[in-house]
Amino acid sequence: MTDLTEQFRERILAASSDAPLCIRGGGSKDFYGNEPRGELLETRAHTGVLAYEPTELVITMRAGTPLAEIEATLAENGQCLAFEPPRFGADSTIGGVVSAGLSGPRRVSAGAVRDFVLGAKILDGAARELNFGGQVMKNVAGYDVSRVMAGSLGTLGLFLELSLKVLPRPVAEATLRFEMAQADALDKLNQWSAQPLPLVASAWQDGMLSVRLGGARAAIAAAEKMLGGEKVGVGEVQCPAAGTASFWDGLRDQRANYFAGATPLWRLSVPSVAPVIDLPGATLIEWGGAQRWLRSTASTEELRAAAEKVGGSATLYRADTALKAASGVFAPLPAPLLDLHRRLKQTFDPHGIFNPGRMYKEL
Amino acid sequence: MTAALIPPADQDDTRRAILLARLQSLLPAGGLLSEPEEIKPYECDGLTAYRCLPWCVALPDREEQVVAALRVCHDLKIPVVVRGAGTGLSGGATPVAAGVVLSLARFMRIIEIDPLARLARVQPGVRNIAISEAAAQFGLYYAPDPSSQIACTIGGNVAENSGGVHCLKYGLTVHNILKLRVALIDGEVIEIGSHALDSPGYDLLALLIGSEGMLGVVLEATVKLTPRPTVAQVVMASFDDVTQAGNAVAAIIAAGIIPAGLEMMDKPATAAVEAFVHAGYDLSAAAILLAESDGTEQEVAEEIAAMCQVLETSGARGLRVSQSDDERLRFWAGRKAAFPAVGRLTPDYLCMDGTIPRKHIAHVLTRIEELAQKHRLRVANVFHAGDGNLHPLIMFDASRDDELDRATALGADILALSVEVGGTITGEHGVGLEKVQQMCLQFSFDELTAFQGVKAAFDPLGLLNPGKAVPQPRHCSEYRLTGSGRHT
């Protein structure tokens, strides 16, 4: 339990647009977003769970608290972060989790990081301590700034504390497998998702569709009967510690073989009903068809156009510095939207000291 | 800001005439109301204590007309208050004098339902329940279900981030909107979100949802549809005291159960609704809980059994499980009709909307009773217990001596109490005009300044719904001197 607020404040006051800050938690997501620049401001010593009562379904902690510690605390009480943030290393902090806004396999059923953010205490670009949201489930007082900060890659402010909604772990889980071509898998996933089935996650790769069921035992048993397929996981749900190599953890933590290698990795976020995206490269599909990973050397233009054509967007998730610099990691924003982004950035970080360029070069 | 918007009186008539002429030329026949008797119905929303006649009411029926009307107002620097069904309870749609009410009531079309993609594209004036009705043929529905769902519109739901009785499991409006098409005050039209699960850039959807009509005008919304569960069942439990009932709520959560709905009513609320809907509530109980389970048949049977056990262990003195869907709906009918039922008992009532950490339920209910006695008024409490969202209904008669003032003072005390125990002044009804001063209790000068910055990023001239939701930080210092603010 250490409170470094005063040190952070001094660093912010000493920073300027010529000497900006690079906010960093555990550094496990340095690969994500455009090239980090600025003087390192490390938050991982700013730690401590400040409030956690399981029956309130809320946990409040300092931003540098390790994700592993939080998950262990929750697991002791049969609870979890339902959006399953990827664990890229033991150093991963909750501030980094929320700043990056990345969610795991269960995102499609449980919701994304932003759906679980209830409140945040931040330091803005003028080193003012600001509290948004709160520690309760429902709160519409003031604009929902804490949710906006989820996924903003530290460009709007420095997280001091976060309050997140937590949920009980599902009582039971099971995994079913089906040999299936991509187009059929997309069809089936959408059809199943439109029915009241306890479908919590899915993955398709190389002609094999895996479907994860979660919830009450009876509901899982009924769904198994209805869906068929080959059953591979049985029994009580486990929340394995980082390092356990279960199939879904491999996907969640991106340790599965698919994620290894040097070919650029693109993440296409598209409507689940979008047809097969016909580009060269290995494909992995999650989120019932809504998240399509592509390891591809196709050009940035081709990938962005393919995603846009079906109403989605393409992010250059992992690539070498040169390609990231040339392409920009995130799909460009239309001018009026970019304009709003600039003005919001100006409001919270008027001197442009927080993670400049990490999301867009204009921010 | 307000001063700049209201020119000297002799200029008013000219400005109003110019405004009316320009709006007339772009709106359809019958789409501009300006005679006092025509605009009277628009003088207030569900918070009837605040009334104001605008200069005119614009009723466009095409998107281009909305955009053109916004341009005219922007051009003339005339404030605009956007209105859906006007069911809001915080005065978010109360008109501004020398301003325009922009009603989106004519935008009632469900543009598309895509059952495979589980989404509906709707115009802003579509009523909440109409979406679920239209989606029913596909076994789908729109999950957020505010009590006013037969009347309230999706545009208004977006503005207020509306909840309902099933939020704990299915989320609020912010969890159920995929995409918005929005007109900014200068007539620029933007699209935020997408039919994918995320979009590049900042999460502007989260910012727009719950922004109380201050940032933009919703032209179209894409909402997420949820598969209708096969069955639903509800347990009704009665308790001899509210502390036990509050503890039972915590015990259900502690057992790892997230009920589809978890509601509490105190004795005065139960008495009011029983006389109104005859649902068979236990009138002698200090509090009753309604706990709903939904899902497959076996799942619901398991969960209901588990909840019954927890409720018994928590000291429930009576339990009834709905044996048919009719009975389930009857149990709910009382809860859903709580506001009108209380309305029958009193000429006027104020509906408060604080959210508190659940563990403080009993303490807060006891304090509310003490505060009610202090202000010599009666209060009935209905409570989204699962979310900690409390709706004390303050009964009064505005025609009697200072009852309105006392009711307002009691409301302010209750909101201060919510903040004091670590909660918020509004869970789902919005700040509007009603709680704009209480914002000073919950937020500091710097936080309010940041909100003003967000507002200015979208609406630099402050023309959209001025005076609502976010107070001018400097006005707070005065309020705090007289109030019980946390920031002094």
User: For B110-168, what is each residue's pLDDT tens digit?
Assistant: 999 999 999 999 999 999 999 999 999 999 999 999 989 999 999 999 999 999 889 99
pLDDT computed for residue B150 by the predictor:
93
**Is A57's Cβ below 8 Å from some Cβ in B?**
yes
164-223 in chain A: CB under 8 A from chain B: 167-169, 171, 190-191, 193-198, 215-219, 221-223
pLDDT computed for residue A291 by the predictor:
98
Tokens 């769902």 correspond to B149
User: Of B422, B366, B429, which is closest to residue B87 (Cα–Cα)?
Assistant: B429
CB A166 within 8 A of CB A79: yes
Residue B443 contacts by C-beta under 8 Å, 6 or more apart in sequence? A131, A141, A142, B451, B487
Residues of B whose CB is below 8 A from A140: 160-161, 210, 424, 426-431
pLDDT > 70? residue A235: no
Give the minimum alpha-carbon distance from A140 to chain B in angstroms, rounded to a whole number: 5
Strand order in the sheet with B56-58: B32-33, B56-58, B100-103, B80-83
Residues of A whose CB is below 8 A from B166: none
CB A175 within 8 A of CB A212: yes
**Is B81's Cβ below 8 Å from some Cβ in A?**
no
**Is A272's Cβ below 8 Å from some Cβ in B?**
yes
pLDDT computed for residue B484 by the predictor:
45
User: Could you tell me whether strands B140-141 and B226-227 are parallel, antiparallel, or unpaired per DSSP bridges?
Assistant: antiparallel
pLDDT computed for residue B7 by the predictor:
53
Residues linked to residue A113 through DSSP beta bridges, in sequence order: none
CB B261 within 8 A of CB B386: yes
What's the count of helices (H) and strands (E) in chain A, helices before strands?
12, 17
82-121 in chain A: CB under 8 A from chain B: 101, 107-108, 111-112, 114-115
User: Which residues in chain B come in under a pLDDT of 70?
Assistant: 1-10, 480-488
Mean pLDDT over A208-225 rounds to 91
Q: Which helix (H) or strand (E) holds B157?
A: helix B154-160
Task: Write down the ipTM of this complex.
Answer: 0.96
**Is B137's Cβ below 8 Å from some Cβ in A?**
no
Of the residues B224, B249, B296, the best mutation for testing chain A's interface (the one with the most A CB atoms within 10 Å of its CB) is B296
Q: How many CA atoms within 13 Å lie on the side-chain side of B296?
A: 19
CB B155 within 8 A of CB B221: yes
**Contact across the interface for B423 and A136, Cβ inside 8 Å:** yes
Tokens 């009532």 correspond to B349
How far apart (Å, rounded) are the C-alpha atoms in residues A340 and A331? Answer: 16
How far apart (Å, rounded) are the C-alpha atoms in residues A269 and A289? Answer: 9
DSSP A139: -
Residues linked to residue B376 through DSSP beta bridges, in sequence order: none
For residue B197, give the nearest of A196, A287, A315 by CB distance: A287
Proportion of chain A in helix, strand, coil states, percent, rounded to 5: 30, 25, 45
Residue B387 contacts by C-beta under 8 Å, 6 or more apart in sequence? A136, A137, A138, B163, B167, B168, B355, B427
Burial class (CB in 10 A: 0-12, 13-18, 19+), B243: middle
Give the minimum alpha-carbon distance from B359 to chain A in angstroms, rounded to a whole number: 7
pLDDT computed for residue B456 by the predictor:
98
**Contact across the interface for A141 and B203, Cβ inside 8 Å:** no
Phi and psi dihedrals of A346, rounded to 5?
Answer: -60, -40
**Contact across the interface for A270 and B454, Cβ inside 8 Å:** no
pLDDT computed for residue B482 by the predictor:
56
- Radius of gyration for the alpha carbons in chain B, expressed in angstroms and rounded: 23
Three-class DSSP category at A112: coil
Residue B128 contacts by C-beta under 8 Å, 6 or more apart in sequence? B142, B144, B145, B146, B148, B149, B150, B152, B153, B154, B157, B162
Q: Supply B437's token pair.
A: 């001063």
**Is B359's Cβ below 8 Å from some Cβ in A?**
yes
Residues of B whose CB is below 8 A from A145: 207, 450-451, 454
**Is B382's Cβ below 8 Å from some Cβ in A?**
no
Model's pTM, two decimal places?
0.95
How far apart (Å, rounded) are the C-alpha atoms in residues B18 and A141? Answer: 37
For residue A136, give the nearest of B118, B229, B388 by CB distance: B388
User: Of B56, B86, B99, B225, which is closest to residue B160 (Cα–Cα)?
Assistant: B86
Q: Across all residues in chain A, what is the average pLDDT?
A: 94
User: In whole angstroms, how far apart are CA A229 and each of A203, A212, A213, A224, B395?
Assistant: 14, 12, 12, 8, 59
pLDDT computed for residue B475 by the predictor:
83
How far apart (Å, rounded) are the C-alpha atoms in residues B138 and B150? Answer: 20
pLDDT computed for residue B78 by the predictor:
98
Q: How many CB atoms lie within 10 A of CB A179?
A: 12
Give the minimum alpha-carbon distance from A251 to chain B in angstroms, rounded to a whole number: 18
Q: How many CB atoms lie within 10 A of CB A239?
A: 14
pLDDT > 60? residue A241: no
- Radius of gyration for the alpha carbons in chain A, expressed in angstroms and rounded: 21
Instruction: Using a pLDDT cut of 70, give the percent of chain A over it.
Output: 96
Supply angle C-alpha A137, A142, A143, rounded to 5. 90
Residue-range domains of chain A with CATH: 5-168 (3.30.465.10), 172-236 (3.30.70), 263-319 (3.30.70)
Residues of B whose CB is below 8 A from A56: 253, 357-359, 388
pLDDT > 70? residue A62: yes
Q: Which residues of A132-161 are buried (b: 16+ CB within 10 A; e: fewer)?
A: bbbbbbbbbbbbbbbbbbbbbbbbbbbbbb
Say which amino acid occupies B391.
Answer: H
pLDDT computed for residue B206 by the predictor:
97
Residue A204 contacts by C-beta under 8 Å, 6 or more apart in sequence? A180, A182, A185, A186, A189, A210, A283, A284, A285
Q: In chain A, which ranges are continuous DSSP H helix?
A: 5-14, 67-76, 94-100, 107-110, 113-116, 145-149, 182-193, 217-227, 247-252, 300-309, 321-327, 335-348
